[in-house]
Chain A
């Protein structure tokens, strides 16, 4: 987490005791913190400050968008579980993706009709980093389902793409603080234009009756600071991290036989190196990498902490046997050349151990 965001949260918790919903001087001070954050997040998302709804993170923002619009929902098969589960809850339709991870246009056309009320397509996939061409897909949606709103889960995108441009086609945009150096448990849903949204948590008039509940003032203050820092450095960081990611991926592909890069690099954000290793089990690989002080993931973890086979890779048509050998190495703001060097030693060593001792 960004030091400036931590400092600001600590300051707010120490010094600002007001509830933004109150009317006295102390409450007004707290309200100003929230309003200033609204301006920063509005700028980050490319929406008006008044159209920013603070939430407890990306999952709540996704649920608010989908449940709040309701009706006939369509989403892609590679969405985060927050979107998939919310859409399934409403009996939504699921659209497949091509082998490169991009939404299948013919499938999208088939799923849409004049009754479709909401389409949810993530801007960047959290497992693979694959970017959806949102503007092109939005054009299809406008044509096939003129009444439909477009929601995009931009949680994974915010740190790397200018959402005011890349998510310009979306009516609803979800983000989460911890993906760009802000706090966990704080996020936002941005609304572009006039979208009627039913509150999913009722009982308070906060956020113009669209999200009841006392504001997490310190968290929102931390989110603001992180967003301002992010906007100042995003472009340069994307270039720097992209170079590290390329060196990491090229190094792995050269050093490890039976290693396949997932997706096309030019269609992805610069921070994720996602590969599949033949004849290796992710679980065993992650175990050895943790011992080498490399904390990586494979797909998503369930509540028990067990690794479940990736629904994203399955949707892309990656055979299960290969998907079970997947590895996602994420880079970020604090990543360095030395980290890449360490991974380029540890990963090939672990693969070689597992293959020689027969992990399967």
Chain B
């Protein structure tokens, strides 16, 4: 019988390289593919020529096929353009989540379909559980590297076709395996930040090149002007540092942003507190859930208790407002049970 085929997304980093190596060891017939997503300036992530070279050389050393798929058009349409538009309308997007939603686990999966691959694999740090035919995204073994938050949107049709070989091990163990089998990327630094934004220019330059940044007035609760900010688009609800208030008053948070008139209101933390998570969308991984859940609303942020009643998520203790556009993910134990996007 011929070996089961699997298409592995190879970024050129250590996690996906080890994922591919483990699958080869397990007897799969592995084909590596690197996604070319971004043609502009970048110094991190999955798009540079040197990363593709790394991926190609890892594939060579594992003696597996390697291809490059150019999904640049899709990446612009589904990730970069909405990212810019979100900031321009006062929202705080998570482009990694949109990339997973539209590119890695939709576009790539459809390409895999066309090419005849039933299975795909990535180097994400998350696990997939299965109970009675129901699949769930679950936290990876390495809490510090866990990526279940950015993969929360995967549904049954994606989870049953996905393999995450490094999700059940720590990052240290992944590097140890890479060293043991002599992978050239064993000590390559982890990728960080947004892959299409260069470290030198940052978000400000990236957005400034694409939209007109609007200077904002900062007012207190009484409406008194207390300062100005260079761009209303770059301010996020809950922010307290870096908005240029005299004396760097750390007790004042951004409590409201009026985008249309470019007015930022600052105030004490209490003004930020809300009882209900304002969700624009909420999708369940399987059946809708009632009762206690744990809620995460940023990639490596706090996980706080809440209770779901008929689709409404209420914090157990009042919490700071979640910025509109952020993904809110609901967990029970280690498992994702649902998620959505925060609204205003």
Contact = CB atoms under 8 A, between A and B. Distances in A.
B9 to A, nearest CB: 14
Contacts of A353: 114, 116
Interface stretch (A2-10, A45-53, A298-306): A298-306
B52 interface: yes
A305 B114 contact: no
Kindly name the residue among A284, A288, A305, A359 whose own CB sees the greatest number of chain B CB atoms within 10 A.
Answer: A305
A283 interface: yes
B120 to A, nearest CB: 14
A281 B48 CA distance: 23
Given A283-B69, A283-B70, A287-B67, A306 B114 contact: no
B114 A284 contact: yes
A288 B67 CA distance: 11
B304 to A, nearest CB: 42
A302 B37 CA distance: 13
A140 interface: no
Interface in B40-72: 47-49, 52, 56, 67-70, 72
Contacts of B115: 284, 287-288
B210 interface: no
B199 interface: no
Interface string A266-295: 000000000000000101100110000000
A358 interface: yes
B243 to A, nearest CB: 39
A344 interface: no
A83 B47 CA distance: 27
A36 interface: no
B114 A357 contact: yes
Interface in B288-334: none
User: Which of under 10, 10 to 19, 20 to 34, or 35 or more describes the interface residues of B?
Assistant: 10 to 19
Interface string B1-43: 0000000000000000000000000000000001010000000
A303 B116 contact: no
A137 interface: no
B111 interface: yes
A314 interface: no
B113 A305 contact: no
Nearest to B111: A284
Kindly name the residue among A304, A353, A358 whose own CB sees the greatest number of chain B CB atoms within 10 A.
Answer: A304
Nearest to A324: B73
A306 B110 contact: no
Contacts of B48: 304
B52 A304 contact: yes
Contacts, number: 48
Kindly name the residue among B48, B52, B70 whose own CB sees the greatest number of chain A CB atoms within 10 A.
Answer: B70
A354 B49 contact: no
User: Which of under 10, 10 to 19, 20 to 34, or 35 or more describes the interface residues of A?
Assistant: 10 to 19
Contacts of A284: 111, 114-115
A165 to B, nearest CB: 40
A168 B215 CA distance: 63
Nearest to B70: A306
A232 to B, nearest CB: 40
Given A358-B110, A359-B111, A306 B68 contact: yes
A303 B49 contact: yes
A325 to B, nearest CB: 13
A197 B69 CA distance: 42
A307 interface: yes
B70 A307 contact: yes
A354 B52 contact: no
Interface in A115-157: none
A308 interface: yes
Interface string A329-360: 00000000000000000000000011001111
B113 A358 contact: yes
A354 B114 CA distance: 5
A297 to B, nearest CB: 13
17 contacts: A283-B67, A284-B114, A302-B36, A304-B48, A304-B68, A305-B52, A305-B68, A306-B52, A306-B68, A306-B70, A307-B68, A307-B70, A357-B113, A357-B116, A358-B113, A358-B114, A359-B111
The 8 A-B pairs at the shortest CB distance, nearest first, are namely A306-B36, A359-B114, A306-B70, A304-B52, A305-B68, A306-B68, A357-B114, A303-B49
Given A306-B68, A357-B116, 5 more contacts: A287-B115, A353-B116, A358-B114, A359-B114, A360-B110
